[in-house]
Amino acid sequence: MSDKIKKIAILTGGGDCCGINGAIRSIVRTAIVKYHYEVVGFIGGYSGLYSDEYIPMTLKTVSGIFHQGGTILKNSNRDNLFSYRVKDENGCYVKTDVSDVAIVNLKKHEIDAIIIIGGDGTLTSARDFARKGVNVIGVPKTIDNDVPGTDITFGYRTALDHIVNALDALHTTAYSHNRVMILEVMGRNAGWLTLEGGIAGSADAILIPEIPYDIHKIAKKIIDRYNSGSQFSILCVSEGSRPVDGDVTVKKIVDGSPDTVRLGGAGEQVARALEMIVSPITGQELRSTTLGYIQRGGVTNCYDRILSTRYGSYAVDLIDKGLFGNMVAIRDNKMTYIPIEEVVGTGLIGETSLGGKHLVDPEGDLVTAAKGIGIVFGD
């Protein structure tokens, strides 16, 4: 055990997901029970680190939170302390580097190390703090399952459960009305949620970012099903999917966020395009449903409770060993770690030493199996 570590902090950033509270609970319990550390938690992501808003974390603090989605420490996905929005002397908002203020706060509270739980943007700032000498351990979290260097992130499996439940529900109404039902799901530029959710939810077509689709091939699948006696069809569509001759569907641009582009509307786009081809032939109506933030909340499932516990406990073990500047990872069902520098690189997709995002392989076993049972991807 390291004699130098006496007090650690926790911070959660980016989007919420199930399993964050499980990781917080695991970190606090491991730190107190196993290593006898003092623990504090900063509120609201990096903004709390800047404003010095924190709470003591005790065994009582984390009691009863294991099953809850979200994070008791609150999240923010807009606060980059290396480019933070503040008012200047004229009352105008400008972006400036306030990271030194955060470091002063850490030193003031005699915090020896900080565990930062988050995705791309959050871990990029974690890397930048590590470069400035802060003892940082990163814990990856996202329902998108797209963080490079680790096989799976907590929150993903619970989100999959929500998707499959939604597809099961859509099946009954699709069958009852002989309709084509489309479910749009999250995932940004990674198709994991759509692919595995679509397979488990008996989708007839799956559209993912990694495989641009030809709308006519999707239409042919629907028409062929109708002509063979299956007068309804189910499509699972990723928010980041795009046609072969087009681009992703952008819902809005959010200034000040690490990820300024907000995707949305891909399901409606597919519905409108298919309606022009399919409806004149089959007479079917098409309906699109966007599952949205339901995917990120709710009660954490068993898998993510266990996974988040493993992540959190191992993160504290790395602190005890002095292995700072690393992100906790899981590979081949074994806990390990990799330098945060290798995970985020420049912070741009495709520009990390690990080869970019953890994306679906269009030629991989999952896609091959899905095609083998008759699911089409429009390629």
pLDDT digits (tens, 9 = 90+) for 97-154: 999 999 999 999 999 999 999 988 899 999 999 999 999 999 999 999 999 999 999 9
- CB distance 140 to 329 below 8 Å: yes
With H, G, I as helix, E, B as strand and everything else as coil, classify residue 289: strand
Cα 233 to Cα 219: distance, rounded to the nearest angstrom: 10
Q: What is the pLDDT of residue 158?
A: 97
Q: What is the pLDDT of residue 3?
A: 62
Q: C-alpha distances in angstroms, 128 versus 125, 135, 138, 146?
A: 5, 11, 12, 21
| Catalytic site residue from 79, 112, 144, 204 | 144
Q: What is the pLDDT of residue 262?
A: 65
Residue 167: both structure tokens together:
């597809």
What's the count of helices (H) and strands (E) in the chain, helices before strands?
11, 15
Q: Which of 25, 97, 123, 152 is nearest to 325 (CA)?
A: 123
Domain 7-154+300-344 class in CATH: alpha beta
Average pLDDT over residues 183-199: 95
Average pLDDT over residues 213-230: 95
User: Could you give the percent of the chain with pLDDT greater than 70?
Assistant: 93
Q: What is the pLDDT of residue 260?
A: 63
Cα 66 to Cα 21: distance, rounded to the nearest angstrom: 6
Could you report the per-residue pLDDT of 316-353, keeping only the tens digit for each?
999 999 999 999 999 999 999 999 999 986 443 334 34
- Residue extents of the structural domains in the chain: 7-154+300-344, 160-296+362-372
Q: What is the pLDDT of residue 19?
A: 96
Which residue did the predictor score with more confidence, 25 or 1? Answer: 25
With H, G, I as helix, E, B as strand and everything else as coil, classify residue 276: helix
DSSP state string for 169-218: HHHHHHHHHT-EEEEEE--TT--HHHHHHHHHTT-SEEE-TTS-B-HHHH
Average pLDDT over residues 293-317: 96
Evaluate if residue 185 carries a pLDDT over 70: yes
**Lowest-confidence region among 284-298, 303-317, 350-364:** 350-364
Pick the CATH number of 160-296+362-372 from 3.90.1200.10, 3.40.50.720, 3.40.50.460, 2.70.70.10: 3.40.50.460
Which residue did the predictor score with more confidence, 210 or 121? Answer: 210
Q: Helix 266-282 and helix 215-227: axis angle, to 10°?
A: 40
Residue 257: band (very low, low, confident or very high) from pLDDT cuts 50, 70, 90: low
Q: What is the pLDDT of residue 326?
A: 97
Q: What is the pLDDT of residue 268?
A: 92
Q: What is the pLDDT of residue 344?
A: 85
Tokens 């290396």 correspond to what residue? Answer: 82
Q: What is the pLDDT of residue 340?
A: 94
Could you report the per-residue pLDDT of 54-93, keeping only the tens digit for each?
999 999 999 999 999 999 999 877 788 998 888 887 878 8
Does this chain's domain 7-154+300-344 share its CATH topology with 160-296+362-372? Answer: yes
Q: What is the pLDDT of residue 353?
A: 40
- CB distance 79 to 97 below 8 Å: no
Active site residue 144: yes
Q: Which of 184, 177, 182 is nearest to 234 (CA)?
A: 182
Q: What is the pLDDT of residue 92?
A: 83
Residue 335: both structure tokens together:
């806990």
Residue 254: band (very low, low, confident or very high) from pLDDT cuts 50, 70, 90: low
